[in-house]
Chain A
Amino acid sequence: MLKRIFATLAALFALAAPAAAQSDAEWQAVVDAAKKEGKLVIYTATLGSTYHKAVFQAFEKKYGIRIELLEARASEIRERVRIEQAAGRFVGDVHHNGSTTTWLMTRDGNLQPHGAIPNVKNIVPPYAADDIRVPAEVISYALMVNRNIVKPADEPKGWKDILDPKWNGKILSDDMRALGGGAVFFVVMYDTFGKEFHEKLAAQKPVFSRDIANSERRVARGEFPLYLPFSLQDYNQLKGLPVKPLVPQEGRPYVRFDLATLKGAPHPNAARLFMNFYLEPEQQLVFANAGYNPVIGGVIEKVSDDLRPLLATKALGTTVPERQDAMLELAKQIYK
């Protein structure tokens, strides 16, 4: 019996070894072709992120492939890609944007299959890649309180705690009626707790704002004691201010950022190589230390002590692109 098992295993190894060698050779061909292309044009909706820039520079250094970066807001990136492609201008290679925009662009045919990428196998649920989209990093949402105003005993433990009358008129919120963190929060709370949660929250008279950087500072200055939803990737920038992020016990709403190859990309191999590089543990750790949730396993354990407990929480839910506009409309009705 034992002999038979060994024989089977030996046969399997004998078959697998050439396959691995073959795929190694294939991937090496992609790497060589990418280096020959020598350039990569990335369209990204992460404006001004130093962490992303660090990863881009690491890629340039490792492979000698120059990166050109076009940064703009999600809808601006999408419109530029759309009109460029309609006019027969195929300039960009990699598209890096939120999952809703990427879903819409996949539907509209602005993206093309990326081909096999070895590191895709390391992606862990609830994130998953397909022929077009590769999960890149994840924005996770929490609550933020002013430490000077909110005592530890008064901190919300669960999401429903913010419905307590003591928070009436004291909540500053990213606008739930517009695309962004507020809208993600709206959908996830609606799916988790139902419409009633929002009706009660609306009765708390939250103040809406659309300038995230300013909102966070308004809470730090004590204008409001509570802000929601707080993007964990802003945590590092606020260190030193009297604010504290809290992930309620039910978990954190999240929104995924995706990588994809733009249709007619002039440097498709460099694009593929870049996506593979992006999923390496070193790069994912850069994002995790910046406050993003990584999309591969074995990274959170290595994250800095203050961020680890926040990131190692349950992923509660995310937006559904198909329902996005209907949900925005519902938010408008509830939060007048």
Chain B
Amino acid sequence: MTSLPAFALDLWALLPEVFLAGALGVLLSYGVAYSTSSARAFPLLGRPTLGLALWSLFLTAGLVAHGPIAQALLCAQAFQVDAATTWAKLLLLGATLGAGLLSGRDLARQRLAAFEYGPLVLLAVLGMLCMVSSADLLTLYLSLELQGLCLYVLAALQRTSPFAAEAGLKYFLLGAFSSGVFLLGCSLLYGTTGTTQWHALATLGFGGGQTEVSPALLLGVLCLFVGLLFKLAAAPFHVWAPDVYEGAPTPVTCFFAVAPKVALLAALMRLALQSFYEFALPWQQGLLLCSLLSLLVGALGALAQSHLKRLLAYSSIGHVGYMLLALACGTLEGAQALHLYLAFYLCTALCSFGVLLALQGVGGGRPRMLSDLAQLGVANPALAFTLAVALFSMAGIPPLAGFLGKWAVFGAALGAQYYGLAVVGVLTSVVSCFYYLRLVQVLYFEPTTRWVSYHRPPWSAALVLGLALGALLGAVLYPSPIFMGAHRAALALCA
């Protein structure tokens, strides 16, 4: 790792973030100036703002992909850039872009808070980008709060709905609480070690968990992880997730299901594999416990759900369990498996939420319960097929992409000799198969008397769905690019 003198190239390396902040400022002033003036075509502003926001995200992704500096420590060791951050940022921007394209029509139809959605998403993404590239506890905390605040507002975006208000409030209270826990961890660490920089923490040497460490230090590390796991909705810190997923408007839920997970997992990986690698034993055990519980909650909790979004919330808890299992291995294979699983998880999440968003009944209704999707296979074969593929992929049935992710995770777990947990993992994957199959059964087999005809999905949603579907189906044919990308990112982390 090369540390450059002074701040000579810092702005160049952080160009994507700087650009996004600039674009955000312009977009926000444009929105504020024009949205309240009826003389300047007020109600028409929602969609162009969103379009511009997505366009600037696209440009940011381009800047990330072709950044002039591939690897550096920046701003007095507060930020860093390397292959892992680039990979995570690309996933994050791609997923947000996909979620935005999927939800354009829905936002316009529900008249959700005219123009605020675009800038709020941009601000949240800015926070997440900073999270991904932070190299200091304080930077991480600040960016965590930045994205958190935007997410709370987004959850309650539908101001007329009591459910959305409930979701926003729950999210806010628990989010603030977990941020507090995280900050406590930071201060405990600072108190015991005298530094908040990750590279400094990494070089301290905790004796591999063998020697006696101070309880304050242990508590500090614990608090850091608990804070992040809370935001990640890993069991046993998952209780808020189903309510928030269900209460928030569907476009927002789609965004929640993809973007924050990428940023949080990237930060978590950084903390675990770089800063506290010497301190592996305690966090490994903690992560294993969380992973086990998440797997069980994800598999068993979803069995009783009849709401689509709650079902998907529980399923995402289960997926977080698999990813934590990969992280807990603490090996190169584990990190690679996590990156891989994350990429495929994003595809399936975009696919499944995308279908929910694309299903806009002609009468204005939209599917909320599982039974609302009955005989979709006849009513809209293309969307039903997409959803079925996404569900089978989540269940990890070969030859779909989800299988490759599960394969990598179980391979890493067996390589790290977590035999018991690997067996639990495959068994919970069978249990979770049960409810994925239930949804497929509703789509294709169950007779119905209520036939709904749906609007055609807009081209933007069709494009995203098509790309995600292609990725899910085609990954098994030509997996090398994504495997290599995940491998490079993992190498950067574990080097």
Indicate, yes or no, whether A interacts with B.
no
